[in-house]
Amino acid sequence: MNYPIQKLKNAVGDILNGEIESRIQVDKMDEFGEIYTSFNQLAELETLNYKKMVKSGNEIGDKNRQLISLNKELESSYEQLQEAINQLDLLKNKQETLINNIGELIWTMDEEGITTFVNRAVTDKLGYSYPEFVGKPILYFIAELESGDQIEPVLEQVQLFDINNLGVYFHKKDTDEKAFMVVNTKRLFENNVFKGIQGFARTVTDDWMIHHMTMRRNKEMEITGQISWVLANNILLDELLEEVVKKIEQLLHPDLCLIGLYEEGEIAIAKIGGSFGKQLGQVKLAMANSLFIDLLEEQKFIRGSDLSQSFRVANESVYEAIRDYVILPLRFDQKLIGFFGIASAKIFTDSDLRVLQIIANQSAIAIDKAQLYKTLKEEYLNTIRVLATAVEAKDAYTEGHSYRVSKVAKHIAETLGCTDEYIEDIEISGILHDIGKIGIYDQILTKRGQLTDKEYGAIKEHPSIGYKIIEPIKLSQVIIDGVLLHHKRYDGNGYPSNIQITELPLAAGIIGVADAIDAMTSTRSYSEAKPMHVAMAEIRRHTGTQFHPKAADAALKLFSEKPEILEAIMNE
């Protein structure tokens, strides 16, 4: 056989036997060389295809293995899912069994008031079967409400509020009898969208009624007792009104509670509470002030269902929710003190009104006492202010000092972002901070030149004397701290030395900084007035040791951003 042909056959045989990299060596490019080259090219192409096929086969194998594994996981998950479904079905069956065997009536209805479910108690309580009850309006089964109100508005209300302990008479099937039950409702939501209402009604027995009335009366006595204690022991008007509102909320659960005060021929809303309290916006009388006062003077109470007839509120949606409101005049010693107003989505009972009247009678006395105390307090405060001015007038060097300290302290508190009430107290504290000097001998206060140790010791008593003067009128802690501790340093030194503090109150720090600024920028018998920038440099240098950091930083910020304010105060 020809050798070149044999060489070609051998190469083909090698490839067929799996040696895919086998090739024919080409020695020269004659006819056989060209045949060998073509064969090698063909073998190279087949080798490449073979490798691709092997790679694809491996990938298919891997995917098949993954698919097999996934199928096993799916089979396992399906078994778990089936078990979970079985458990849920079991739980659902247990729940339905439980609900159906509860002796009290349970039902659900959609947003249109159509019943969608009822438990088996409907047969025992009212005589209806499941098909006779479900699919019909709940209105069909209600005879009347205990309160005597119309039923339709209540059905509208249950879409807006959950109702507790509503007395309802239900029709019994094929009889003229009615079953009285106490009803509670709960709104049902799905993804924050209202879907329906669940109702729960329990039969009321004579024993239950006696127990219910006893518990309610005990609760009334407990809370009215608490109110009596609050009224008898609280002489601060704002705190008194706050506590009264809280107690009324606890006892009557009104959606709205208002207290108005009668002063200088005008009625003004003094306190607002109830679940709607924060939703009202601004509250005003819906009629002329004089007309409203005439109504209070003429009537024992005012009652209605349309709140807009008596009050104007910014959030008008509240009008739709209120179904009953009552206004009781507050009177003491033949004079009008103000009024109580309560409003609710439910109808108030005679018991509610009786309790409110008791609270009103007690509150009128307490409010009158608190108003009298407030008047006396203001007069006493004005007297102290006059005395403080008189003390300063004895010494030309300190005249106007308390006024300036008060104004500087006010601006420091404003820079700190304090509340209006706090700022007002800081102003008062600034006016009164040196009131204790009224108890220091004139010859010490007006002495020119250096004080002796004994004289300086007497001067250091003025914060304690000031505290004793203002303590009887129960001023706020902010005012007291400013008077008593304005010469205490932030590091705990200073005076009164007999008072130990863990931290200097901010109010004392503010008055202390304002006092120091005025002292340094005013001419005194012992020193000449310094420029404002020099005084502020001293404040900065002693921040954190003598001066409270927050108060000092606020004063420095005030001087940096609004120096004209400080300069104007010092030049007044």
pLDDT, one tens digit per residue, over 166-203 is 888 888 888 888 888 888 888 888 888 888 888 888 87
List C-alpha distances in Å: 118 to 69, 134, 278, 317, 463: 48, 7, 38, 33, 75
The larger pLDDT score, comparing residue 544 to residue 252, is at 544
Can you list the pairs that 145-150 forms with residues at least 24 positions away whose Cβ atoms lie under 8 Å? 145/169, 146/180, 147/347, 147/349, 149/323, 149/347
Mean pLDDT along residues 268-272: 84
Report the alpha-carbon distance of residue 498 to residue 521 in Å, rounded: 30
Mean pLDDT along residues 299-326: 84
Residue 100 confidence (pLDDT) above 60: no
pLDDT score at 86: 61
* Residue 261 C-beta-side C-alpha neighbours within 13 Å: 16
pLDDT score at 551: 95
Report the alpha-carbon distance of residue 274 to residue 311 in Å, rounded: 15
Q: What is the DSSP letter of 83?
A: H
The larger pLDDT score, comparing residue 237 to residue 429, is at 429
Given pLDDT bands bounded at 50, 70 and 90, which one contains residue 290? confident
Q: What is the full DSSP assignment across 151-163?
A: HHHHHHHTTTS--
Residue 94 confidence (pLDDT) above 80: no
Residue 556 confidence (pLDDT) above 90: yes
pLDDT score at 234: 56
Q: N- to C-terminal Cα distance for the chain?
A: 134
Cβ contacts of 391 within 8 Å, gap of 6 or more: 434, 435, 437, 438, 445
Mean pLDDT along residues 467-475: 82
Lowest mean pLDDT among 29-43, 91-105, 557-571: 91-105
pLDDT score at 337: 83
Highest mean pLDDT of the ranges 67-71, 183-187, 234-238, 271-275: 183-187
Residue 346 near residue 163, CB atoms below 8 Å? yes
pLDDT score at 202: 80
Given pLDDT bands bounded at 50, 70 and 90, which one contains residue 103? low
Residue 328 near residue 351, CB atoms below 8 Å? no
The larger pLDDT score, comparing residue 420 to residue 447, is at 420
417 phi, psi to nearest 5 deg: 80, 30
Q: What is the pTM of this model?
A: 0.44
Residue 511 near residue 482, CB atoms below 8 Å? yes
pLDDT score at 230: 58
pLDDT score at 292: 86
Highest mean pLDDT of the ranges 8-17, 401-410, 470-479: 401-410
pLDDT tens readout for residues 493-521: 999 988 888 899 999 999 999 999 998 98
Report the alpha-carbon distance of residue 464 to residue 336 in Å, rounded: 42
The larger pLDDT score, comparing residue 201 to residue 486, is at 486
pLDDT score at 488: 93
Report the alpha-carbon distance of residue 83 to residue 121 in Å, rounded: 32
Residue 471 confidence (pLDDT) above 70: yes
Mean of per-residue pLDDT scores for the chain? 80
pLDDT score at 439: 83
Given pLDDT bands bounded at 50, 70 and 90, which one contains residue 1? very low
The larger pLDDT score, comparing residue 294 to residue 4, is at 294
496 preceded by a cis bond (ω within 30 of 0)? yes
To 5 degrees, how large is the angle CA 283–CA 285–CA 288?
A: 155
* Short-list 251, 313, 257, 324, CA closest to 281: 313
**What percent of the chain lies above the pLDDT cut of 70?**
84
Given pLDDT bands bounded at 50, 70 and 90, which one contains residue 567? confident
pLDDT score at 87: 61
Residue 538 confidence (pLDDT) above 90: yes
pLDDT score at 477: 92
Highest mean pLDDT of the ranges 69-73, 264-268, 438-442, 559-563: 559-563
Residue 377 near residue 473, CB atoms below 8 Å? yes
**What percent of the chain lies above the pLDDT cut of 90?**
16
pLDDT tens readout for residues 328-345: 888 888 888 888 888 888
Given pLDDT bands bounded at 50, 70 and 90, which one contains residue 449? confident
pLDDT score at 99: 45
pLDDT tens readout for residues 379-419: 766 776 777 777 666 655 567 888 899 999 999 999 999 99
| Tokens of residue 383, six digits | 């007297």
Residue 490 confidence (pLDDT) above 70: yes
pLDDT tens readout for residues 198-240: 888 887 655 555 555 555 566 656 655 666 665 555 567 777 7
pLDDT score at 84: 65
The larger pLDDT score, comparing residue 214 to residue 161, is at 161
Residue 433 near residue 402, CB atoms below 8 Å? yes
Residue 59 confidence (pLDDT) above 70: yes
Mean pLDDT along residues 49-77: 76
Lowest mean pLDDT among 226-235, 293-302, 350-359: 226-235
